[in-house]
Structure 1
Amino acid sequence: MKENKSTSLTRRVSSSVSESEFQELLTLLSKSHNQSMSSLVRDILCKKKLVVTTYDKSLDLILEKLSLIHQEINAIGITANQVVRVFHKTGDLSKELALAKKLENNLNEILKKQDALKNMVRPLLDKWLQK
């Protein structure tokens, strides 16, 4: 059974640290899930598992590029669907050939975007799947 926090924390402990150690604690506090310096130090003293969140800003650019490629592929897919819809409605062979050529161009664009995605994701996979 868990004790009430106000009754379990009855003893005060104080300590002094150097400026560099304090800055290190502040950095750790900003990255951890602890709400206060006291709770952080308490977790360290009790040897509890600290959860530290790190944020890789270099992924922002990659995610932005991936989002743009996703939007482009989506737009190409919509255009391809429109071409196919018109293709089924028309009975003119020359129009059907022109639409088929347009559809082929759209599919080639999708393949190019797919290659770009593979080239962007490959380094991420190498980074994430390191042994």
Structure 2
Amino acid sequence: MYGISGPSLHRLTQETRALGCLHCGSNEYVAIESIDSLPPHPGELHVEVEYACRRCQGSYQHRARFRDVAAILNRTKTLEGLFRFAGEYFHCGEAMRVEGTGVRNIHAPLPAREPELDDGVSVGTRVLRCRCGFRLELPN
């Protein structure tokens, strides 16, 4: 019998760790890049988080307590770069707006023996813009 927590709570706890750079030993320079939800689980709310250390450029992805992520996001200097949350992209601390759409041709030279396949691929894109002028083009 597993009791109230069930078998998955123990596994979740083992995979969850505090946010922070393992090299620098601190969360002072952490910049959150994305947060994703996890399937429903008992106990405290946890999320999958990706972040980088602005000091040493280390990158991390793991499960973390939501309250730890929120504490870092509440520090204003953490949203200096590009951030993705709930399908939205944020820059300068606010959601970017769709400016339009486009088409990009992705082309890579192929060996000379296959010239008929050398046309490339066209990919539809959407263009997002931040109030500061930062633009991001994403494949549709």
TM-score bracket for this pair, using the shorter chain length: under 0.3
TM-score by length of 1: 0.21
TM-score by length of 2: 0.20
